């Protein structure tokens, strides 16, 4: 395999006596979807926060594109090309879907210290933003304020934003949440194609989607990775069945 | 370009404010010109605050500091010019001035310079802490002004002759109104342009969701700091005009009540709306004048008005008549 895009080694994080992340190592290679699963409270969100830079690990190293990024904040990591989607929040709920994506395009183009040109007449923002919305199938809803989009549409918008950022890796936090069966099916197909553009670290509860998409799966329980491997490995791993799949289904 | 309902209302408000002094001339009631000038200046200060508060969601409870600094810039320069004593001899000689453009630029520069460190520190906090820390800075400047006898201390500082503007007679109330009105329109134009720019988009998005904006690679801190400084500079300019209107500067311009009034103006008119501060200032001055003539306790009624607006018309006056904001 090639150099990994994202590489995490020996990551640990304590909240008081609680060991939320316990010596976690995982990596994300080019063109792959690496799914991170685990029961509620396993520490998936804490791990995502550390990868995105909103939380500082106590120990361990995070490398992105071959560079150590432990000291880089979330803004710097986003600018390097780490595209993160969020579970619940929208970027700018009062803005239309289009303006949300335009904000990502604006960030990618560089400085936001431009005071005079109106954004709504700026083709260099409008066109790429519209293209990103079109790719996730949200073009028809471009003018709707993000707050008025359905839950599923907001997940699509999150992905359009990550696309518009020109991300070199995607960090997707439960993109399927709140999607109807049709929505998840089309999103699954979309993500499957997306991996060729940039690899995806996927945190997801929808097991059908995970099994359909993942090249590799890591299982996180009590902050520790108890198993990591192909879909078949994980399906047949007794420890995983015990800890997770067994009582989840 | 299509003018929506809000655009029509904005034009009506702008024309109404412009019409007051002309009506006053016709009716030979010069005092109303002063009233309209007061409206225009307070509106200008509130347009400044609206950059931080309306677009950025930064509830600064210390904008009187910048308003007052602008006022003192005008007062101090004018006093030195009047007494023909230089402000500073060493290391460079700085003379006083009674020219409005010089005073305006000084007021803008001083306010912006002071706002830079205040903003840089205050913007590390959010919410109630931001409100309190901006208040604390303003109070520091307030007490400094009170305890500095060179420029009048608690008694304030008089400007004996209104400062001049090349080519016009600023002693004519209507002329002075038109100067203030023009500056207000320029500030409103800047507000409208900045709001729709990349800067405005980032600033408004940072208000809506700070974490999320950082995750797309835009640092909210620097954007907010720029907004805070611009906001202070405009408030400072308004302060310089206010000093010339009253021909008097006192620490009350720096007081927390003044900061509160600026916030009230914006809430009355409509937070974040282009003409919110203008409508707010007009309502405020009208209430102050007419109810103030009837009862000393006019502020009780101002409070009632504010309560009604906050409870039943969250978008303020502009929101009430123009409906909700629609972003494209």
Chain B residues within an 8 Å CB radius of A102: 201
Q: What pLDDT does A247 receive?
A: 52
**Which chain B residue shows the shortest CA-CA distance from A53?**
B215
Q: What sign for the dihedral angle of Cα A60, A65, A68, A70?
A: negative
Q: Is A94 in Cβ contact with B201 (below 8 Å)?
A: no
Q: What sign for the dihedral angle of Cα A221, A227, A230, A234?
A: negative
Q: How many helices (H) and strands (E) does chain B have?
A: 14, 2
Q: Is the pLDDT at A80 greater than 80, yes or no?
A: yes
Q: Which phi-psi region, left, alpha or beta, contains residue B63 (left: φ > 0; alpha: ψ -120 to 50)?
A: alpha
Interface of B with A in 308-327 (CB under 8 A): 325, 327
Q: Is B325 in Cβ contact with A106 (below 8 Å)?
A: no
More confident residue, B91 or B52: B52
Q: What pLDDT does B131 receive?
A: 96
Q: Is the pLDDT at A1 greater than 70, yes or no?
A: no
Chain B residues within an 8 Å CB radius of A106: 198, 201-202, 218
Average pLDDT of the segment spanning A164-189: 87
Distance CA A219, CA A210 (A): 12
Residue B92, token pair as written in the block? 């460079």
Whether A133 contacts A101, CB under 8 Å: yes
User: Closest approach of chain B CAs to the CA of A156, in angstroms?
Assistant: 16
Q: Which single residue is written with the structure tokens 């560079």?
A: A67
Residue A127, token pair as written in the block? 């066109």
Whether B219 contacts A106, CB under 8 Å: no
Chain A: residues touching B (Cβ < 8 Å):
52, 54, 73-75, 78-79, 84, 86, 89-96, 98-99, 102-104, 106-108, 111-120, 122, 125, 143, 145, 161, 165
Distance CA B202, CA B196 (A): 10
Residue range B182-238, pLDDT digits in tens: 999 999 999 999 999 999 999 999 999 998 899 899 999 999 999 999 999 999 999
Whether A81 contacts A165, CB under 8 Å: yes
Classify residue B152 by burial, with Cβ atoms within 10 Å: 0-12, 13-18, 19+.
buried
Total residues found in chain B within this entry: 328
Residue range A130-153, pLDDT digits in tens: 999 999 989 999 999 999 998 888
Chain B residues within an 8 Å CB radius of A92: 204-205, 208-209, 212-213
Average pLDDT of the segment spanning B111-124: 98
What is the per-residue DSSP string for A2-13? ---SEEEEEEEE
- Report yes or no for ipTM above 0.90: no
User: Closest approach of chain B CAs to the CA of A237, in angstroms?
Assistant: 36
Distance CA A157, CA A163 (A): 10
HSE (CB half, 13 Å, CA atoms) of A54? 19
- Identify the helix (H) or strand (E) that includes residue A34: strand A33-37
For the entire predicted model, the pTM comes to 0.91
Q: Where do the DSSP E strands lie in B222-328?
A: 248-249
User: Could you say which of B194, B212, B327 has the minimum Cβ distance to residue A91?
Assistant: B212
Distance CA B283, CA A43 (A): 54
């Amino acid at each position: 395999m090639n150099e990994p895009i994202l590489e995490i080694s020996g990551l640990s994080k304590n909240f008081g006596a609680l060991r939320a992340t316990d010596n976690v190592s995982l990596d994300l290679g080019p063109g792959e979807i690496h799914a991170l699963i685990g029961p509620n409270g396993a520490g998936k969100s804490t791990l995502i926060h550390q990868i995105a830079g909103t939380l500082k690990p106590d120990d361990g190293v995070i490398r992105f594109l071959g560079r150590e990024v432990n000291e880089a904040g979330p803004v710097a990591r986003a600018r390097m090309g780490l595209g993160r989607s969020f579970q619940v929040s929208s970027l700018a709920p009062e803005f239309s879907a289009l303006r949300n994506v335009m904000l990502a395009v604006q960030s990618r183009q560089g400085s936001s210290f431009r005071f005079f040109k109106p954004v709504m007449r700026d083709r260099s923002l409008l066109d790429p933003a519209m293209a990103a919305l079109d790719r996730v199938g949200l073009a028809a809803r471009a003018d709707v304020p993000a707050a008025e989009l359905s839950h599923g549409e907001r997940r699509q918008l999150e992905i359009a934003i990550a696309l518009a950022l020109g991300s070199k890796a995607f960090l997707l936090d439960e993109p399927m949440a709140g999607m109807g069966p049709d929505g998840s099916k089309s999103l699954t197909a979309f993500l499957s194609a997306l991996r060729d553009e940039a690899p995806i670290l996927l945190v997801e509860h929808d097991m059908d989607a995970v099994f359909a998409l993942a090249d590799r799966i890591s299982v996180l329980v009590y902050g520790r990775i108890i198993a990591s491997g192909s879909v078949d490995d994980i399906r047949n791993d007794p420890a995983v069945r015990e800890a997770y799949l067994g009582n989840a289904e | 370009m299509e003018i929506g309902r809000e655009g029509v209302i904005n034009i009506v408000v702008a024309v109404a404010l412009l019409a007051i002094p002309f009506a006053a001339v016709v009716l030979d009631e010069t005092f109303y010109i002063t009233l309209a000038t007061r409206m225009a200046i307070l509106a200008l200060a509130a347009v400044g605050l609206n950059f931080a508060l309306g677009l950025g969601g930064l509830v600064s409870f210390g904008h009187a500091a910048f308003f007052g600094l602008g006022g003192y810039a005008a007062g101090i320069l004018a006093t030195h010019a009047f007494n023909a004593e230089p402000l500073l001899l060493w290391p460079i000689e700085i003379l006083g001035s009674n020219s409005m453009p010089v005073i305006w630029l000084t007021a803008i520069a001083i306010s912006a310079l002071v706002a830079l460190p205040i903003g840089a520190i205050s913007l590390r906090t959010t919410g109630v802490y931001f409100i309190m820390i901006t208040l604390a800075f303003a109070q520091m400047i307030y007490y400094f002004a009170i305890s500095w006898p060179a420029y009048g201390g608690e008694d304030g500082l008089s400007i004996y002759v209104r400062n001049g503007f090349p080519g016009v007679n600023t002693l004519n109330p209507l002329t002075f109104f038109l100067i203030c009105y023009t500056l207000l329109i320029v500030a409103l134009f800047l507000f409208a342009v900045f709001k729709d720019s990349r800067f405005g988009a980032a600033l408004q998005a940072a208000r809506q969701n700070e974490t999320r904006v950082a995750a797309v690679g835009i640092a909210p801190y620097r954007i907010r700091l720029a907004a805070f400084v611009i906001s202070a500079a405009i408030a400072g300019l308004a302060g310089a005009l206010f000093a010339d209107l009253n021909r008097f500067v006192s620490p009350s311009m720096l007081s927390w009540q003044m900061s509160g009034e600026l916030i009230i103006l914006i809430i009355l008119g409509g937070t974040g709306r282009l003409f919110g501060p203008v409508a707010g200032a007009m309502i405020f001055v009208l209430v102050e004048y007419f109810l103030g003539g009837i009862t000393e306790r006019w502020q009780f009624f101002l409070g009632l008005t504010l309560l009604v607006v906050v409870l039943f018309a969250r978008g303020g006056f502009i929101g009430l008549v123009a409906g909700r904001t629609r972003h494209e």
